[in-house]
Amino acid sequence: MSTTNTTGKINVQTDNIFPIIKKFLYSDNEIFVRELVSNAVDATKKLKALGSMGEFKGEIGETRIEIELNKDAKTLTIKDRGLGMTAEEVDKYINQIAFSGAEEFVQKYKDKAPETNLIGHFGLGFYSGFMVASKVEIETLSFRDGAKAVRWECDGSPNFTISEIEKAERGTNIILHIADDSLEFLEQSKIQQLLDKYCKFLPVEIQFGIKKEYVKAEGEEESKEVEVANIINNPEPAWTKKPADLKDEDYANFYRELYPMNFDEPLFNIHLNVDYPFNLTGILYFPKLKKTPEIQKNKIQLYSNQVFVSDNVEGIVPDFLMLLQGVLDSPDIPLNVSRSYLQSDNNVKKISNHITKKVADKLEEIFKKDRVEFERTFEDIKVFIEYGMISEEKFYDKVSKFALYKTTENVSYTFDELVEKIKPAQTDKDDKLVILYTNNANEQYSYIQSAKAHGYETIVLDSQLTPHLIQNLEGKNDKTQFVRVDSDTIDNLIKKSIELVDKLTDTEREDVKKLTEELVNVTTFKVEVKPMHTTDAPIVITQSEFMRRMKEASVMGGGMSFYGSMPDNYNLVVNANNSVIEKILKEGDPSTRKEMMQNAIDLAKLTQNLLKGEELSQFVNRTLSKI
Ligand code: ADP
Ligand code: MG
């Protein structure tokens, strides 16, 4: 193409591509910023590469990319000092290649419902400018010796013009004439926000106008306002550096750079750095987790060669790792594909496994290096670890060796240590190991105390994931059962072969049973009188582990709704060997006897938090009248 002034028609099959681009990409139109700025970055990097290969012998000089907003002229300009294009190259790369790419993209997706995050993932490049511009101009001067500068113009129809122009500086200016329906892109704050989002870590310095800063010069009293270049990006973010070159402080600083609005400190981090068989870099941070999963604000950000892609890494990292924060950068993650395709992609699978392994390795490293530190940290990441253990087999295999279980006495054991510790006392007559747990040490206090009196340990499992975790651990460990400490009387929790002697005669037992049944609602409370240790409470109320698990499962959904609609049922066990019962039996006056029994029952209900409303107030009044 040697003419100085050419008009032409882009060879189109799709009659007019631009309205389609515009309509289709509407919700994601802001990505034009990323596309055009990353083209400027590419052009700069290519020039540097040509320089180092000796194909470009000139001076590279300043390469800062500049973004200029002109509200009066309604233009947004992206200027680079990269390799530029000749007229032939404009024709080839813009009229033909870029256009066919855009056309292919539209052909492929025009009949599909826009899938969020699909469009944002590249594929449209240069032509994305037409989402917000009624006219796009390119002014460019190639680095090649004797090259002539050219201007390409296109108003969104398939017609374009190319003309020769005067341009002294090497490189390319992309001038967007912002369309009337996209005037928001003429706002300084909007562009600043988009540059922050998409361009923050691009590898070539980017300037967006100037900003005011207050500086105090030496020897002066007051700080003065000065104008400095408004630099958008950090071209060398921490994750692109070698782990050996970074200190703890650098990781902490990068965290703040990444999430400026976040004031928590992360617990620790993992620096990923792989180039074979896939390319992956990044830094993941472990945040302190709350007991209940909260809405996550500081999500993992996904980059491709330092270009921001998305803050949704669903399908790329396992679900439980989405609780982490930080950055992943991989050019090997396919971008313009759906989430379901992502999960079946081989590279993505490998990347996901690699990250899981690295996370488990890091945890093991801390565990081995400093047990005390690990125990302290564990509390803050417990939810995450439990989530990982129940959802990822491979993670379970590694982490189950050092995941910690804390007793009500505040001692932390690994699972193996715990088993070792409790085996002698808590193995039942069928050789099954019974692990007692509480999900609320406060509410189940009296049960924990009586377990303790029998020499049993109770561990605290109090997260939302506890029911799943327990099922998982029972599935993986033969002859092991988790039983909540208040789910039965002590002798039944861990059945031993010793028979307890019953102090009561058959008639006495019948009497106690009848008396008790008169005083409780027998559809809710199944009454039983049996011998327990004299030190056990006179009356114990329990709810069976099975029943409670079914009810819990029905609350969490799944086909258990039948259990959810069942009324609560409890066992009310009278301890035939407790001296209080003996005393009640000895009482001659029937009404006093009844009152004594009522008090014993109410006290048992109180310890299970079951004494409420009218019953509670009657109990209070009765007790007060005795003072
Ligand atoms: P891609 O970047 O994926 O190649 P684009 O549609 O973004 O696709 O750009 C098409 C081509 O146009 C680029 O490959 C490049 O050759 C050329 N190009 C676009 N912007 C510039 C620029 N600022 N400087 C030099 N060449 C550019
Ligand atoms: Mg591009």
In this prediction, residues 479-501 reach a mean pLDDT of 88
Alpha-carbon distances, residue 536 vs 142, 453, 471 (angstroms)? 91, 9, 30
Q: Is the predicted pLDDT of residue 455 greater than 50, yes or no?
A: yes
H/E element, 407 = strand 404-407
Read off the pLDDT band of 567 (50, 70, 90): confident
Q: For residues 65 and 44, what is the distance between their CA atoms, to the nearest angstrom?
A: 9
pLDDT digit string, tens, across residues 513-550: 999 999 999 999 999 999 998 888 999 999 988 888 88
CATH superfamily of 503-541+568-627: Heat shock protein 90, C-terminal domain (1.20.120.790)
Ligand closest to CA 102: 1
> Counting atoms of ligand 1 from 1, which one is nearest the CA of 80?
23
Question: What residue owns the CA closest to ligand 1's atom 9?
Answer: 126
Identify whether the C-beta of residue 480 lies closer than 8 Å to the C-beta of residue 474: yes
Give the CATH fold of the 6-209 domain.
Heat Shock Protein 90 (3.30.565)
Ligand 1 atom with the shortest distance to the CA of 124 = 6
Which residue has the CA at smallest separation from atom 1 of ligand 1?
125
463 has pLDDT over 80: yes
Beta-bridge mates of residue 573: 528, 540
Question: Could you identify the residue written with the tokens 């039996």?
Answer: 585
CA of 101 to the centre of ligand 2 (A): 10
Ligand 2 is an ion; residues with CB less than 5 A from it: 39, 125
**Nearest atom in ligand 1 to 89's CA:** 16
Confidence of residue 315 (pLDDT cuts 50, 70, 90): confident
Pocket test for ligand 1, best of 81, 126, 130, 143 (most atoms within 8 A of CB): 126
DSSP SS3 for 68: strand
Residue ranges lining ligand 1, Cβ < 6 Å: 35, 39-40, 42-43, 80, 82-83, 85, 93-94, 98, 101, 125-126, 172
Atom 5 of ligand 1, residue of closest alpha carbon: 125
Sign of CA dihedral 287, 288, 294, 297: negative
Centre of ligand 2 to C-alpha 128, Å, is: 10
Closest CA to 415 of 396, 425, 400, 397: 400
Mutation pick for ligand 1 pocket among 42, 172, 174 (CB with most ligand atoms within 8 Å): 42
User: Comparing C-alpha atoms, which of 297, 302, 294, 230 is closest to residue 262?
Assistant: 297
Residue 116: its pLDDT value, please? 42
Confidence of residue 293 (pLDDT cuts 50, 70, 90): low
CA of 317 to the centre of ligand 2 (A): 26
Which ligand has an atom closest to residue 94 CA?
1
Cβ contacts of 96 within 8 Å, gap of 6 or more:
11
DSSP letter assigned to residue 502: P
CA of 340 to the centre of ligand 2 (A): 25
Mean pLDDT, range 497-509, rounded to an integer:
86
Average pLDDT, the chain: 88
Q: Give 201-227 pLDDT, tens digit per residue.
A: 999 999 999 999 888 878 788 888 899
Does residue 87 carry a pLDDT above 50?
A: yes
pLDDT digits (tens, 9 = 90+) for 600-623: 999 999 988 899 999 999 999 999
pLDDT value for 533: 87
Q: Which two tokens stand for residue 208?
A: 């967006």
Work out which ligand 1 atom sits closest to the CA atom of 127. Answer: 6
Give the number of other Cβ atoms within 10 Å of residue 556's Cβ: 12
- Out of 10, 25, 39, 336, give the residue to mutate to test ligand 1, the one with the largest number of ligand atoms within 8 Å of its CB: 39
Of all atoms in ligand 1, which is nearest to the CA of residue 35?
7
Distance 2 CA to ligand 2 centre (A): 26
Which atom of ligand 1 lies closest to the CA of 39? 20
Grade residue 182 by pLDDT with cuts at 50, 70 and 90: very high
Nearest CA to ligand 1 atom 13: 93
The pLDDT assigned to 290 comes to 63
Domain ranges of the chain: 6-209, 239-358, 503-541+568-627
CATH class of 239-358: alpha beta
Answer yes or no: is pLDDT of 115 > 60.
no
For atom 10 of ligand 1, which residue has the closest CA?
98
Quick check: 167 and 149 in contact, CB under 8 A? yes
Cα(131) to ligand 2 centroid in Å equals 15
* Confidence label for 119 from pLDDT (cuts 50, 70 and 90): very low
| Cα 519 to middle of ligand 2, angstroms | 80
User: Mind listing the pLDDT tens digit for each residue in 394-440?
Assistant: 999 999 999 999 999 999 999 999 999 999 999 999 999 999 999 99
Ligand 1 atom 17 nearest Cα: 93
What is the residue whose two structure tokens read 């540059």? 195
Q: Is the confidence at residue 31, as pLDDT, over 90?
A: no
Spatial distance between the Cα atoms of 223 and 9, rounded to a whole number of angstroms:
58
Atom 19 in ligand 1: which residue has the minimum CA distance? 39
In percent, how much of the chain has pLDDT > 90?
Answer: 64
Convert the pLDDT of each residue in 186-200 to its tens digit.
999 999 999 999 999
Task: Compute the average pLDDT of residues 168-188.
Answer: 96
Could you tell me if 129 and 174 are in contact, meaning their C-beta atoms sit under 8 angstroms apart? yes
Q: Which of 65, 93, 122, 335 to mutate to test the pocket of ligand 1 (most atoms within 8 A of CB)?
A: 93
